[in-house]
Structure 1
Amino acid sequence: MKSKIILYLVIVICFLDLFIQLPIITPFALELGASEFMAGIVVAMYSLFNMVGNIAGGYMSDKFGRRNTLLFGMIMQIFFVLIYTTAPSIGILLAVRAIHGFSSGLLTPAAFSLIADISRKSAIGKSMALTGVAIGTAAILGPAAGGIISSAVSYEMVYYILSGVYVFGTILTFFGIKESSTDDSRTHHAATPFKELLLRPALNVAYISSFTLMIAQGTLAFGLPIKTGLLGLEASMTGMMLSVFGITAIIVFASPINKIYSVYKSESLVAIGILILSGSMMLLHFAPSAAFIFIVMVIYGFGFGFIFPSMNKIVAEHSEMNERGKANGIFYSYFSLGSVAGSVISGYLATVFNLPFLGIGIVTLIMLMALLFIRYRLELNRS
């Protein structure tokens, strides 16, 4: 139990890396002279190379073990996040976002494969809900901390603190986490090729869900600081708004509401969650005030809460130990690709049509229809 608690704390640290940057990276890029579209590219660069890191981290966690991959990624993070503090131009910032995204991408497949390895099949839903609590905690602490620290001190101070957090994470991983994969699973790590996992129909439901969720998240990362700026609000207010959806998601994960993960099919919960996200994006387009945005963030949090544990549960149930790292690597590469698509498309929609949120709401509805089609085909094959 103690090692599992430590692992959940490590997951908080892994996702703090993403969330603490949400309220600051767009204004940081704009301060260096970027256009709105280029700022979207800066946001997306992290996620693009995070996707490469996800694939590498999944492979490494199957071949070398989950714990070793976590340690390697944590140590890289300590040094790479410090480079932000010396970025003098957009070109350098883009390069820093690339290497930081890669090192961060190594961590997630290893951590989630470890959770799935040590969880009983009957308890996978609950375990994934608790990982949601960990991520929700990061979603609460990260944006608020990023906004407050950057406003009170500087953008650079955020990265000094984040580097220190990764020193702590490395120590926790080294002393508190045991390897979960077996010698046999690591020996047979190449038995299942990436192509087979990429095309496995049941896993495709999780992949599309991940992609769609992060399209919405990438849009928030790019568009919400601009929206709050247009309303005349401080950067710290943006952080608090982003934290609200994390609080809501934690309530879903940790309260009796979490029985839904055992009672209802994961595919159904994912579909409902995506519908909620689509509605939230559209509402943000019309939001006239800070109070309205806070209400929408609560709604968004319910959608996030329905989706996240459910799609992780799908991956855990439809992969074996020797292939789980690669399956999670593909899954989180879709996660990263969705962030790229969300921030780039919303940046383009903002620049050309001034419709980042409304446009993305339509895009996520289209992804929902694709997911429902795949689910329909799966049900036909089962019958």
Structure 2
Amino acid sequence: MNPSRSPEVPITAGLIIALAIQNAVPPFATDMYSPAFPQVATDLGTSATAVGLTLTAFFIGMGTGQLAGGTASDRYGRRRPIITGGLICTLGGVVCALAPGIGILLAGRILQGLGGGIASVVGRAVLVDVAHGDRLARIMSILMAVGGLAPMLAPVAGSAVLSAATWRMIFWCLAGFGLLMMAMAAIVIPETLLASDRRHGGLRRFAGGFAELVRHKRFMGYMLTSAFSGFAMFAYISASSFVLQETKGLTAMQYSVFFGCTAGANMLMALTNSRLVGRYRPRRLIAVGLGISGGGIALVTLAVLAWGVALVPLCAGFVLTMAAQGLIFGNASALALGEVRHVAGAASALMGVVQAIAMGISAPLASSGGGASAVPMVAVMLTGIIGAWAAYLLVGRAPSQRRLPGV
């Protein structure tokens, strides 16, 4: 079987923006909504725990959407699934906005996550179809940098909406965002998978495709490098508010400003990476990123275990850890997906699910110490960086595989 081909599609600024919009659903659907939690609980007469479950519902839907969307796009092409994802996301927003109780709100959040998962995973597959090698790594980094704006803008946007309207207006805004996703997909994103390259088959072929991906050592190595690095990063994201506010006494505003600075460092490093790719191989840039992340985590470890939670080295370690992801995520994702271009949809789905699982496990483990102890956070960060280095080094020993076994 010949390697997969793609129609000649120019990579324009419009296409990159359209793909970035497909990937912006998670931060907007979670961070824009979070300031409204107390209002939702009061209005629907429910508990804070039940409202918190709406986040869980979103990510359950998103994981399911990535699995379904990635596989469907390998079978039916890219355009229909990505447009469908925007439609489902829009419907989910409408259901949430009209929800009379917490049960309907949970159902709407699952729909939102399902649509967002489909759109984001197919968007990555489209990029793999049209970009190769260093160019793929460069554009992945640009998408990361653009995506880095969303976590900084979403809470501000949510607070602005709440200052003028109720929490339901946030979901009407998110429904509008779903319409924008759908419109951009329909107008800007072309079909990038030829009919002759589509994979047909039932549930057995679906399961077989994932089994084959797991056997591809280089794909798995780069995917796990990214996942373990995300595991370490999410320890900071989930536990730093407790450590910096409750242990070190920072105000909510001071913490928000610092968090924004670390997100900005990540975005700037991703933009820098997009300029470095081509001059330096992506694999070498991953090693630099892992080195910076390792240095940052070493600083955090010393600050907590040896220096009594010293504020300056602790914050410096957090900045380095976040910035390093700009050299790791885009390059590792590009190299992993580049190994299995002919099943880009399924591979993108598997990557998304594994990364979500890694971050989902990291958060409760790292924050288990609350404001009383930062040791669990340090343990999770150390586990993440050790795992990332191990996966990266194992990739170098794996033979190159142009095709999956048995395909």
TM bin (shorter chain) = 0.7 to 0.9
- Runs of 5+ in structure 2 lacking a partner? 1-8, 401-407
1:116-127 aligned within 5 A: 116-127=128-139
Moved more, 127-136 or 154-163: 154-163
Which residue of structure 1 lines up, in the alignment, with residue 346 of structure 2? Answer: 326
Which residue of structure 1 lines up, in the alignment, with residue 225 of structure 2? Answer: 209
Residue 158 of structure 1 aligns with an amino acid whose one-letter code is: I
1:36-55 aligned within 5 A: 42-55=54-67
Which residue of structure 2 lines up, in the alignment, with residue 316 of structure 1? Answer: 337
- 3-state SS of 2:12 partner: helix
Q: Give the TM-score, by structure 1 length.
A: 0.80
Which residue of structure 2 lines up, in the alignment, with residue 84 of structure 1? Answer: 96
1:37-116 aligned within 5 A: 42-86=54-98, 93-116=105-128
Instruction: Classify 1:122/1:219 alpha carbon distance in 2 versus 1 (closer, same or farther; 3 Å).
Output: closer
Residue 193 of structure 1 aligns with an amino acid whose one-letter code is: G
Matched, 1:158 2:170: yes
Q: Say if 1:26 and 1:225, in contact at 8 Å, map to a contact too.
A: no
Q: CA deviation at 1:168?
A: 1.8
Counterparts of 1:165 and 1:181 in 2: how far apart (Å)?
26
Which residue of structure 2 lines up, in the alignment, with residue 339 of structure 1? Answer: 359
Instruction: Classify 1:354/1:200 alpha carbon distance in 2 versus 1 (closer, same or farther; 3 Å).
Output: farther
Counterparts of 1:91 and 1:282 in 2: how far apart (Å)?
42
Moved more, 118-127 or 90-99: 90-99
Q: Please give the per-residue CA displacement for 1:276-324, whole angstroms capped at 9, x wherever unaligned.
A: 67468769988898x9998666434412212221121122321123x11
Counterparts of 1:144 and 1:216 in 2: how far apart (Å)?
26
Instruction: Classify 1:122/1:343 alpha carbon distance in 2 versus 1 (closer, same or farther; 3 Å).
Output: closer
Q: CA deviation at 1:45?
A: 3.8
Q: Say if 2:233 and 2:381, in contact at 8 Å, map to a contact too.
A: no
Counterparts of 1:89 and 1:217 in 2: how far apart (Å)?
35
1:202-241 aligned within 5 A: 202-216=218-232, 218-219=234-235, 222-223=238-239, 230=246, 231=249, 233-234=251-252, 241=258
Q: CA deviation at 1:374?
A: 3.5
Counterparts of 2:355 and 2:183 in 1: how far apart (Å)?
27
Q: CA deviation at 1:61?
A: 1.2
One of 323, 327, 336 as aligned partner of 1:302:
323
Determine which structure has more spread, i.e. the larger CA radius of gyration: 2
Which residue of structure 2 lines up, in the alignment, with residue 18 of structure 1? Answer: 26
Q: Say if 2:121 and 2:348, in contact at 8 Å, map to a contact too.
A: yes
Q: CA deviation at 1:173?
A: 1.3
Instruction: Classify 1:198/1:354 alpha carbon distance in 2 versus 1 (closer, same or farther; 3 Å).
Output: farther
- 3-state SS of 1:177 partner: coil
Which residue of structure 2 lines up, in the alignment, with residue 181 of structure 1? Answer: 193
Instruction: Classify 1:210/1:293 alpha carbon distance in 2 versus 1 (closer, same or farther; 3 Å).
Output: same
- Runs of 5+ in structure 1 lacking a partner? none
Counterparts of 2:214 and 2:364 in 1: how far apart (Å)?
24
Residue 358 of structure 2 aligns with an amino acid whose one-letter code is: G
Q: Say if 1:43 and 1:221, in contact at 8 Å, map to a contact too.
A: no
Q: RMSD in angstroms over aligned alpha carbons?
A: 3.9
